[in-house]
Amino acid sequence: MGRLEGKSVVITGAGSGIGRAASLLFTKEGAKLIAVDRTEGVKDTVEQIRKAGGTAEAVIADAGSEKDVIAFIDKAVSTYGKLDAIWANAGIGGGLIPIAEQTVDHWQEVLRVNLIGPFLAVKYAMPHMIKQKHGSIVCTASVAGLKSGASGHPYAASKAGVISLVQTTAYSLSGTGVRINAVCPGLIETGMTKPVFDRAKERGTQDKIGQLNPLKRAGQPHELAAMGLFLASDDASYVNGQAIPVDGGLTASMPYAGKPI
């Protein structure tokens, strides 16, 4: 049996990158999935799942819209009869615009998707999970939410907010049997980070990508998916309120500490 055998799961941002890798892995491990994304890519994700013999439904929706979140969580419950886990993974980048040139509209959109989205997932998944006295909520944060220097201001602030949301919600859920945790990706090769990799290839410096972490490489979406699988499964039954870096060791030391002392 798979680690999520028979469990009803929602994953947002499932159209590409970490969300697609998680969707493929979760269904391989027996999950019945509602795959959510605001792009048509989610249909391709579900097609791949079904070809592999898995169970999934595609929903095109905005993870930062309250109306859409209510709808796709209700769909999971009506389709599969329950909701065992949700991974609030959908997110957008914030760019590297100088802070004096950033706009309120830009900040609001980044916060809406990256922070309000996970809040809505928590708000509307909780009642179903509390009623059945178990459940797991996973949110995608970032190493940029742990320390400065990993991304631009609005993105980093949004991900720091996700970490705080996870920690405070863990205590709000005390005694319910529902767990909540965050994964904090480092430099992962996805559509969001594609410009970083493309620029390095253009300059001939791709061998320098990921050199700040002890593994000396970038990560891949399946490596994040594996952590999410653990957190969503019963194997993580005593893991709660944590923000877990998956970053090759980047946050284990100061970035200038290139050699052991």
Residues marked as catalytic: 155
Residue 61 CA to residue 75 CA, distance in Å, equals 12
What single-letter DSSP state applies at residue 171? H
Length of the chain: 261
Taking the mean position of all CA atoms in its chain, how far away is CA 153? Answer: 19
Which residue, among 67, 44, 65, 58, has the nearest Cα to 10 in the 3D structure? 58
Residue 120 CA to residue 108 CA, distance in Å, equals 16
At 15 the three-state DSSP class reads coil
Helix (H) or strand (E) holding 12: strand 8-12
Which residue, among 125, 111, 240, 112, has the nearest Cα to 175 in the 3D structure? 240
Residue type, 58: A
**Cβ–Cβ contacts within 10 Å for residue 60, how many?**
16
